[in-house]
Amino acid sequence: MTAFKRNALTFFITFVISLLVFSLIAWPIMAFVRGNSTPAKPKETAAEEKEKKEPSKDVPKVIDGESFTVLLVGNDYLGDSSHSCADAIVLMRFSCETGKIVYLPIPPDTQVSASSGSKAISLSDYYNTKCRSDTDSRDVGLFAKKIEELIDFEIDYYICTSLSANALGKLVDAIDGVEFFVPYDMKGEIEEADFEIDLEKGTRTLDGEEATAMLRYLDDEDYEARAELGRDFLSALLSQCTRKILSTDALETFESFSTKTNIDEEVINKYLSTVYQFKDFDEVFLSYTKEDVASLVNYK
């Protein structure tokens, strides 16, 4: 594999792993992961409500590249193939025609029909019990088909990655840390974690533990601040990965995530220019409601 293709492949994998990790610790998708049916949403002003009712007539931003939809699945597989649940399910749409990246988190506890006449089960259990192959691994393609039936929207690609609490830390340490501007002082204990945080405002190189602590620092209620911090760090991580990603340690780390996907080198080459323009897209975060799911057709 040439250096360029290797760089492209690892960039793409880094992007996906980062998104999946953030879906567990940095995005408002946390509500879904914990079993709630409704995510926290930022309050809208009267002006924003009016704008929502009266859509802007501005010409949509057009991004050079090809649009695609990918299903991101994060599971809790830690070596025991007999039990592997889908803990994070996120549909992501890169729409070059509208200049938007659309994120639709789907609650793992969403009830679906396993077969005709059978009792409904959660998507997480469906992944664990109904998508099991003869080798006891999971057929992610079959799971993607079930999601297609659920939302009535075609999925081009899928990526399933095993996650653990220290996944982000491993990723950051693999590229020798990430230089990042910490927006304010962060001090205190991190709930449900085994360490404290002590970061001062300013630019510094964060190691894996510091990055994980920073992204866990804000409460789930701080929707906008938490989402903004996560997106800023993701951008920093991606930009620095393009310079550091060719190290052997980084490549070995990516391989350890047990990623399953139908994306190959040909697909990566086809959409690489689209992914590289990540910062140029506007972001749209949808909630799993009938109205928001129906609005996906606006981003084809």
Residue 197 belongs to a domain with what CATH number?
Answer: 3.40.630.190
Domain count, the chain: 1
CB 169 within 8 A of CB 212: yes
Task: Please tell me which residue, 52 or 101, carries the higher pLDDT value.
Answer: 101
* pLDDT tier at 7, thresholds 50, 70, 90: low
Q: What is the mean pLDDT of residues 265-271?
A: 78
Q: What is the DSSP letter of 112?
A: E
Using the 8-state DSSP alphabet, how is residue 130 labeled? Answer: T
Identify the three-state secondary structure at position 289: coil
pLDDT for residue 117 is more than 60: yes
Question: Percentage of residues in the chain with pLDDT exceeding 90?
Answer: 12
**Using only C-alpha atoms, what is the Rg of the chain?**
19
Rounded (10°) angle between helices 248-255 and 167-174 = 160
- Assessment of whether the complete model's pTM goes beyond 0.75: no
The mean pLDDT value for 30-56 works out to 41
Query: Of all residues in the chain, what percent carry a pLDDT higher than 70?
Result: 58
Hunting for tokens 């009712």 — which residue is that? 53
Q: Give Cβ neighbours of residue 284 (< 8 Å, ≥ 6 apart).
A: 100, 101, 102, 103, 299
Residue 227 structural domain? 3-299
- pLDDT confidence of residue 223: 57
Higher pLDDT residue, 258 or 189?
Answer: 189
CB atoms closer than 10 angstroms to residue 124:
21
